[in-house]
Amino acid sequence: MNSLPAPIDLLPHRPPFLLVDELIEMDAGVSATGRWRLTGDEYFFAGHFPGRPTLPGVLMCESIAQVGACALLADERFVGKLPLFGGLDNARFRRQVVPGDELTIEVELGRLSARAGKGSGRVLVDGDVATSCDLMFVFADA
């Protein structure tokens, strides 16, 4: 049984913009791994693309940010804070992700201060890297 908190209990995001179903590993303030299962019923598939539904790459980057935010918000140093995107670097999209795929989202946090930080992450599908990117974020009061 998973004794980790649910992403919805850590993040302010709510469906349809909660892009992680569960956390499967976490070292608060250091790293986290999450899972997102695509059913095909997600709102974006209808228009991206009709006849060939494909998960938008920017949503994979957002899922990386959300898993990273879970690791941050589980750390007592950041209670009452909201991590916001400050930048996105080195984004690479390496394979198509489609309905029925299960995404494993891995994030490692780097430099952290009381006001900002960095991290990097990747999305894997069946063990293959689908997306990777580096994140920069700033903290706002929640």
Find the CATH number of the domain harbouring 117. Answer: 3.10.129.10
**Does residue 38 sit within a domain?**
yes
**Does residue 4 sit within a domain?**
no
Task: For residue 142, name the pLDDT band (cuts at 50, 70, 90).
Answer: confident
Total number of domains in the chain: 1
**Does residue 121 sit within a domain?**
yes
Per the annotation, the verdict on 48 as an active-site residue is yes
pLDDT tens for residues 81-95? 999 999 999 999 999
**Does residue 18 sit within a domain?**
no
**Does residue 89 sit within a domain?**
yes
pLDDT tens for residues 16-73? 999 999 999 999 999 999 999 999 999 999 999 999 999 999 999 999 999 999 999 9
What's the domain range around 58? 26-141
Cβ burial, residue 131 (10 Å; 0-12/13-18/19+): buried
Is the pTM value of this prediction over 0.85?
yes
Decide if pLDDT at 137 tops 80: yes
Q: Looking at beta carbons, which pairs linking 77-82 to residues 24 or more positions away fall under 8 Å?
A: 77/29, 77/114, 78/29, 78/139, 80/141, 80/142, 81/139, 81/140, 81/141, 81/142, 82/12, 82/139, 82/140, 82/141, 82/142
Residue located via tokens 């693309």: 49
Decide if pLDDT at 2 tops 80: no
**Does residue 21 sit within a domain?**
no
**Does residue 109 sit within a domain?**
yes
Cβ burial, residue 71 (10 Å; 0-12/13-18/19+): buried
How far, in Å, CA of 105 to CA of 23, rounded?
9
How far, in Å, CA of 139 to CA of 142, rounded?
9
Catalytic residue among 21, 24, 31, 48: 48
Using the 8-state DSSP alphabet, how is residue 41 labeled? -
**Does residue 59 sit within a domain?**
yes
